[in-house]
Amino acid sequence: MFAIFANVKISHIYYYHTMEKTFTNRLKKILILAVVLNLFIIVMQGLNTKKTIQNSKNSLILIGKTALSSFEGGRRAQLLLNPEGGQRFRTFVDMIGENSGVLSLYLFDQSGEVLFNSKEITPPQISPIELPHGMVETDAGMLLYQTLPPPRPMMGRMMGQNAPRWMQDDRNLVAGVMLDTTEYKNMVRTEVIFLAWMFFLELILIAVYVYTARMIRVQTEQSKRLSAAEHEAELGKMSRVMAHELKNPLSSVKGLMEFSAKKLEGDLKDISDRCVEELSRLDRIINDYLAYGKDITLNVKDTDLKAVSENIAKLLEIDADEKDIAVKLEGSGQIKADTEKMKQVIFNLMLNAIQGAPANSEIQMTISEKSIIIKNEVSDTSFETENLGKPFYTTKTVGTGLGLAIVKRICKLHSFDVKIDAGKVFSVQINF
């Protein structure tokens, strides 16, 4: 009945942790989706910003080209240079200069010298001979300039030497317009700031994802350890109850069989002795269950590891001699630990080594104040490394699979680290 209850409770724990894992996986997916979606928005916003800035610049350039087109008819440019007239065209130019976006209009000669300036705003230096038309951006604004076509010859009385001096000027003039880029720059600044905020939001989302993923990983590891601890606790309770229920009748049966073996002779005595041996083996198994299931309290004191190891080696000397196995102890060390519990740890490790090592081999045990290392060859490598140390896992025909589990449990209570390296040479290292 208790076994069924324990299985139901363990299943409930497993279901809870499975649901928790599902939730964390969904949360990670949502965060990844948010990061990718925001990145997509940033890319689209970047493309839109680039297009908006280019359109605004094109609109500004169109205003400049429209203003420059006013110089392209007949001798309009020469009219501006006429000191005696051309007032009407000057007024027209001033009206153009008052339009939104136009700061000043200019006339240059081929060397770049300013011949006319409508608003007395100093333009940047240009070289029309090398580049007949172009655009120059400065802090003051944007200058567009282009070389005007040669003026058409005058007809009638105004031609030849009778024409005024300003009409006889056949120089290729260069028209220019200074455009106000204040609104354009404000728009660029606004778009860039908005894009920067979007990028900053993306960095925040990435940071949140990284932090959340790290917290989920930590929580998952803690959840696994908690689940393992709860699982082992339930197994321990179940083992303790089962062992108690079996030990009393087993002791009675074993006592009766030992008594019968003393009274019987011949084949019956041989059968009784075999029964006693099997009952003794079963008694050891039950003791393992009791050792794993009981609550462990530590009595920490100075522990001489060499003395404990030598004592355990003498206890297991008969088992080692049966397989001609040599046990070599090297080094020494004294640590703060529960001496009786460390005896159990070393006993289990040395017994496992003797049982797993092939005949005529050697077991090496190295002791220091920082660690214990036990190495031995193994005759059977069919075990699963990731399951070593888990309760009830064993590849041996005899045993409960609790030896290493008890070792890891005792070491965990001491805050010792256990490392198992399984291969042709089996190694267990306990770091203090």
Q: Determine the distance from the C-alpha atom of residue 184 to the mean position of all C-alpha atoms in its chain, rounded to a whole number.
A: 42
CATH of 102-148+170-179, one of 3.40.50.10190, 3.30.450.60, 3.40.50.300, 2.40.50.100: 3.30.450.60
Query: What secondary structure does DSSP assign to 160-211, as a single string?
Result: GGGS-TTTS-----EEEEEEP-HHHHHHHHHHHHHHHHHHHHHHHHHHHHHH
The tokens describing 73, both together, are: 């008819």
Return the DSSP state at 132: S
Tens digits of residue pLDDT in 163-195: 555 455 567 789 999 999 988 899 999 989 998
Q: Tokens 């050697």 sit at which residue?
A: 362
pLDDT by 10s per residue, the chain, length 432: 444 444 444 455 555 556 666 777 788 788 888 888 888 888 898 899 899 889 989 998 998 888 888 776 556 667 666 655 445 556 666 666 566 678 888 889 989 999 888 888 899 999 999 999 999 999 889 999 999 887 665 555 444 455 555 455 567 789 999 999 988 899 999 989 998 998 898 888 888 888 888 887 887 777 777 776 666 666 666 666 666 667 677 777 778 788 777 877 888 888 888 787 777 767 766 666 666 656 667 889 999 999 999 988 998 888 899 999 999 999 999 999 999 889 888 988 998 889 888 899 999 999 999 999 999 988 766 666 666 656 655 656 555 567 788 888 888 889 999 998 877 788 999 999
CATH of 299-431, one of 1.25.40.10, 3.30.565.10, 2.40.160.40, 3.40.50.300: 3.30.565.10
Whole-prediction pTM value? 0.46
| Residue carrying the six token digits 């905020």 | 197
Q: In this predicted model, what pLDDT tens digit does every residue of 297-313 receive, in sequence order?
A: 788 999 999 999 998 89
Domains in the chain: boundaries: 102-148+170-179, 299-431
